[in-house]
Amino acid sequence: MIKKFLIIMLILSVTVSAFAADEMIPDFSPESLVILNNILRKLSRAAYNVKSSVDDTQGYLEDKVDGVTIQLSDEEMEVLLITDAHINVAQLSAISANLGTITAGTVTGATIQTAASGARVKMDTSEFLAYDDSSNEVFKIDITGGDVGDVTLGDYANSKGVKYDKSAGTFNIKGVLTATSGEIGGWTINATTINSTNDKVVLDNANEKITVGDTGTTHIQIDGANDYIQSSDFVSGALGSGWRIGNTEAEFQNIRARGKLTTTVFEKEAISIVGGNLLVLGGDILNADMTALDASTMTISGDETFAVNDVLRIKDGTDDEWFTVTNIGSAPTYTVTRDQGSGYGANSNPIWKKGTAVVNYGQSGTGGIFLTSSESDSPYIHFFTHAGSPWSTTTAKTRLGNLDGIPGASGWGIWAGDGYLGALEVIDTISVSSQGSIRSNLTGNYPYVEFSNAGLQLKDSDTGGTYGTATYTTAGTYGYGALAWIMNSDLKIPFAVLKEPNAGANDVADIRLYNRGDNPGGAAEVGDLAVVNGKLMICTGAGTPGTWAVVGSQN
Same domain, 287 and 348: yes
- Give yes or no for a contact between 465 and 482, defined as CB atoms under 8 angstroms apart: no
pLDDT given for residue 421 in this prediction: 44
- Stretch (H or E) spanning 370: strand 367-372
- Mean pLDDT in residue range 275-301: 89
| Buried/exposed code over 317-341 (b: 16+ C-beta within 10 A; e: otherwise) | eeeebbbbbeeeeeebebebebbbe
Per the domain annotation, does 451 fall within a domain?
A: yes
Per the domain annotation, does 406 fall within a domain?
A: no
Same domain, 299 and 332: yes
pLDDT given for residue 86 in this prediction: 44
pLDDT given for residue 522 in this prediction: 93
Same domain, 287 and 350: yes
Cα separation, 544 vs 537, in Å, equals 16
Same domain, 22 and 45: yes
| Residue 397 phi, psi (nearest 5) | -110, -40
Cα separation, 340 vs 461, in Å, equals 50
Task: Name the domain count of the chain.
Answer: 5
Which residues on neighbouring strands pair with residue 121, listed in sequence order?
130
Edge-to-edge strand list for the sheet holding 298-299: 282-285, 357-362, 311-315, 320-330, 333-337, 298-299
Per the domain annotation, does 380 fall within a domain?
A: no
- Give yes or no for a contact between 446 and 464, defined as CB atoms under 8 angstroms apart: no
Per the domain annotation, does 235 fall within a domain?
A: no
Same domain, 426 and 491: yes
pLDDT given for residue 352 in this prediction: 95
- Mean pLDDT in residue range 189-195: 87
Q: Is 279 helix (H, G, I), strand (E, B) or coil?
A: strand
Residue 119: closest CA among 99, 100, 139: 139
Tell whether the model's pLDDT for residue 528 goes beyond 80. Answer: yes
Owning domain of residue 480: 420-511
Arithmetic mean of pLDDT over the chain: 76
pLDDT tens across 333-368, in order?
999 999 999 999 999 999 999 989 999 999 999 999
The one-letter amino acid code at 365 reads: G
- Give yes or no for a contact between 186 and 200, defined as CB atoms under 8 angstroms apart: no
Tell whether the model's pLDDT for residue 31 goes beyond 90. Answer: no
Tell whether the model's pLDDT for residue 521 goes beyond 50. Answer: yes
Inter-CA distances, 89 with 92, 93, 122, Å: 7, 9, 22
* Single residue among 363, 395, 429 that ends a domain in this structure: 363
Same domain, 507 and 533: no
Q: Are strands 298-299 and 367-372 parallel, antiparallel or unpaired?
A: unpaired
Q: What is the pTM of this model?
A: 0.37
Total H helices, total E strands in the chain: 2, 44
Percent of the chain with pLDDT over 70: 66
- Stretch (H or E) spanning 37: helix 30-42
More confident site: 496 or 156: 156
- Mean pLDDT in residue range 195-221: 88
pLDDT given for residue 83 in this prediction: 47
Tell whether the model's pLDDT for residue 157 goes beyond 80. Answer: yes
Per the domain annotation, does 262 fall within a domain?
A: no
Same domain, 331 and 351: yes
- Give yes or no for a contact between 551 and 536, defined as CB atoms under 8 angstroms apart: yes
Residue 73: closest CA among 46, 43, 37: 46
Same domain, 290 and 354: yes
- Mean pLDDT in residue range 142-150: 88
Cα separation, 370 vs 277, in Å, equals 7
* Single residue among 174, 191, 211 that ends a domain in this structure: 174
Per the domain annotation, does 84 fall within a domain?
A: yes
Same domain, 441 and 507: yes
What's the 3-state SS for 302-343? CCCCCCCCCEEEEECCCCEEEEEEEEEEECCEEEEECCCCCC
pLDDT band at 38 (very low <50, low <70, confident <90, very high): low
Got the DSSP string for 58-96? Answer: B--TTS--SSEEE---HHHHHH-EEETTT---S-GGG--
pLDDT given for residue 99 in this prediction: 53
Radius of gyration of the chain (CA): 58
Least confident of 87-96, 247-256, 349-358: 87-96
Q: Is 523 helix (H, G, I), strand (E, B) or coil?
A: coil
Question: What is the CATH number for 289?
Answer: 2.40.10.170
- Give yes or no for a contact between 369 and 277, defined as CB atoms under 8 angstroms apart: no
Edge-to-edge strand list for the sheet holding 395-402: 272-274, 277-280, 367-372, 380-385, 395-402, 412-416
- Give yes or no for a contact between 399 and 383, defined as CB atoms under 8 angstroms apart: yes
pLDDT given for residue 98 in this prediction: 55
Per the domain annotation, does 185 fall within a domain?
A: no
Least confident of 34-43, 413-422, 428-437: 34-43
* Single residue among 325, 344, 363 that ends a domain in this structure: 363
Q: Is 290 helix (H, G, I), strand (E, B) or coil?
A: coil
Same domain, 127 and 77: no
- Give yes or no for a contact between 298 and 323, defined as CB atoms under 8 angstroms apart: yes
Same domain, 90 and 13: yes
pLDDT tens across 362-381, in order?
999 999 999 888 888 989 99
Tell whether the model's pLDDT for residue 443 goes beyond 80. Answer: no
Whether the CA torsion 275, 280, 283, 284 is positive or negative: it is positive
- Stretch (H or E) spanning 248: none
Whether the CA torsion 472, 477, 480, 484 is positive or negative: it is positive
Per the domain annotation, does 249 fall within a domain?
A: no
Residue 316: closest CA among 272, 280, 250, 348: 272
pLDDT given for residue 332 in this prediction: 95
Which residues on neighbouring strands pair with residue 162, listed in sequence order?
153, 173
- Give yes or no for a contact between 455 and 467, defined as CB atoms under 8 angstroms apart: no
Same domain, 88 and 19: yes
More confident site: 271 or 516: 516
